[in-house]
A and B are shown apart, each in its own frame.
Chain A
């Protein structure tokens, strides 16, 4: 699929602020199933921008506005082409212990939440039946949304898995954090993916949609018996399915705070009002709607 994405963030401050430093992780990645053809950012007030790749390979765009200002606009435009990934491999549970798997998994297999025990986790864990890691991943994509209500406002940007379980509701960020904990408990390496998602209804053609940044997981699944490398497979527990060409990846990390789309700090006690919008438009003919 071929998309144009515009991600517009506007901050209005109720008093002048200075030294507004921000880091953006918003550029669609180029991967084996995705290519970012065009990418522009515009900052207002004007600011010098620098870029680098972070530890996880995500492009980071940094800027600072030193002088006094009362509003900040971050305007990002991108064009990206995506394709469906190949069928995920059906490797066995035993393959998770192989040296090749552990090498590929690296730190994404390490236990993450180090609190002693999260109440309610055992119960969720017991529902994750599956003859193979792939089956379990698919079950996970049902269990999490079955169990938790999707409700913006139930949690906030710093919420933990414990908060999600206590609230019984959350947003995609929380669903992903919980999924990562559950997968890693099973020995399946898993990482947090930040990106954009084309969320059009299947049956009627739409050219353009207001969306938001989205999050899903990548789980490392072992190759089928004895052959093939382990493969990172994308799955979207918020939307009950494996992710495919509708998902535009920005980058990944161990958890949200490794890949926040916009992170910033400014000097001054003013409070800010945020208006953020992501608009996705399809540029290719609707006839090729996804399977």
Chain B
């Protein structure tokens, strides 16, 4: 690795600032050196062929408007976290997710945090994902945020910070599992000197969590994975998780609600479903309660949910907790609901609906990151130091028109990890980390998570939809961690669903059009 130089001021996770390998990374660097640039380039070619063949691809849209599938870009240099480092992250995440779950419950019930004056009600009511339709509904087990994927970054001072919470339908776990399997096949020699904690048991953890919240008294709960369909960019993951858990993968046309109970259509007739891992937005789940024009939804699903006859993961309305305008209040939530100090820090955030903060931000747009609230996946984000003057001026206009739809944040100096270039040579690239937490009877987090890497030099945008790749994330075994894989589950394939498509739904509504009162006529 002669010639690899970390880029000041960023922290490199495998190398010290002076270019010598960190202690935990020494064997890895040695093995990478013996593979050499040619060996890495060759393994990269095998990886692309394997992913294309297995259909592990990602749809990217080019600036021209077209889209195409490319192999999901797994970088062959893993990221290495010590057991100790991981335990701190894990504790911090579990704390944060508990607080977020409390917040969702509070928002739809007593609103104590609002009455306490900590979070302004108007801000909550302005969230685009605030779901009035589920006001007053408490789901089975009191769990709302069954699957959470908070995005973490590591600052140059070594601290971990949460940059974004995702408690709606975070995706990416299938890549964590596929990446590990691919690494073991492509570069087994890198694992030789390490005991890396396994991640393969994620589907077991998820199934166990879903069963634990499913309202099923007599029999074993029936769990389904609900996908919007093959056109969805994450369909691969939906199918992957259903297969790994050994449960049915269903679409809206396979589901029906009768007398406030959810059923699945099968060749044997209707069969009750007790828990739904749904992978589509609230907007589309039930045309009676959310968007009436949704063709993907199951009419009456919110009724079944209200009746408590089905568990929905994640619960409806959780988007109010991961809204970017609410993010700033998460440390307050932790103190308020849990009476604890936050373990993981936030990134300093400015609420542009506050006039003083807006003024401060408008004067420093070239030094800050600006993000639209209620969006995800890096859409609409402007990174001030990387933006042109025209982009900054345009953003100034957009923000001034609707300040409440934007937040600004300090730029975080994302850490780097050596990453293989086209020629097999390593160069530092910025990374973040999305661990996946599963909340059922307790919170389980598989070691590591999805490390996303910005493949372009200097870029801070790691989203896979915008040219980011990923890395296998290694948490090293040090014999000091209690959470181990649960009991194994049957590795069964779900039977294929028969094609039971029904005619479309039709809506009925009455316009309010009373004639004028005769007395009111002139």
- By a beta-carbon cutoff of 8 Å, the part of chain A in contact with chain B is 9, 11, 17, 19, 21-23, 48, 50, 52-56, 62, 64, 66, 102, 106-107, 109-110, 114, 150, 152, 155-157, 171-173, 194, 196-197, 199-202, 211-215, 236, 238-241, 246, 256-258, 260-272, 274, 276, 278
Contact = CB atoms under 8 A, between A and B. Distances in A.
Nearest to B402: A114
B511 A156 contact: yes
Contacts of A157: 509-511
B512 A171 contact: yes
B287 interface: yes
Given A269-B503, A269-B504, 6 more contacts: A19-B257, A21-B300, A102-B122, A173-B512, A173-B513, A201-B519
Interface in B328-357: none
Contacts of B300: 19, 21, 64
Contact of A263 (B122, B509, B515, B519): B509
A201 B515 CA distance: 13
Contacts of B257: 19, 21, 64
B259 A64 contact: yes
B515 A265 contact: no
B53 interface: no
Contacts of A50: 260, 303, 307
Contacts of A213: 510, 512, 514
B506 A240 contact: no
Nearest to B289: A23
Contacts of B259: 48, 64, 66
Contacts of B505: 265-267
19 contacts: A22-B508, A64-B258, A64-B259, A64-B300, A66-B259, A155-B511, A172-B513, A172-B514, A196-B514, A200-B519, A201-B519, A211-B514, A213-B514, A238-B520, A261-B512, A264-B509, A265-B288, A267-B502, A272-B508
Interface in B285-299: 287-288, 292, 299
Contacts, number: 159
A258 B121 CA distance: 19
Given A21-B299, A48-B259, A52-B306, A197 B508 contact: no
B125 interface: yes
Nearest to A116: B401
A240 B518 CA distance: 12
B268 interface: no
A150 B515 contact: yes
Best-buried of B121, B126, B505 by chain A (most CB within 10 Å): B505
Contacts of A54: 132-133, 135
Given A54-B132, A107-B125, A265 B508 contact: yes
A194 B514 CA distance: 11
A197 B513 CA distance: 11
Nearest to A258: B132
B506 A212 contact: no
Contacts of A172: 512-514
B510 A274 contact: yes
Contacts of A106: 121-122, 125
B504 to A, nearest CB: 7
Contacts of B133: 54-55
A225 B135 CA distance: 36
A261 B514 CA distance: 13
A182 B516 CA distance: 21
A136 B121 CA distance: 27
Nearest to B307: A50
B307 A246 contact: no
Contact of B512 (A62, A256, A267): A256
A56 B125 CA distance: 13
A55 B514 contact: no
Nearest to A236: B520
Interface string B296-312: 00011001001100000
A28 to B, nearest CB: 15
Nearest to B502: A267
B507 interface: yes
Contacts of A197: 514, 517
Given A19-B258, A21-B299, A66-B259, A261 B288 contact: no
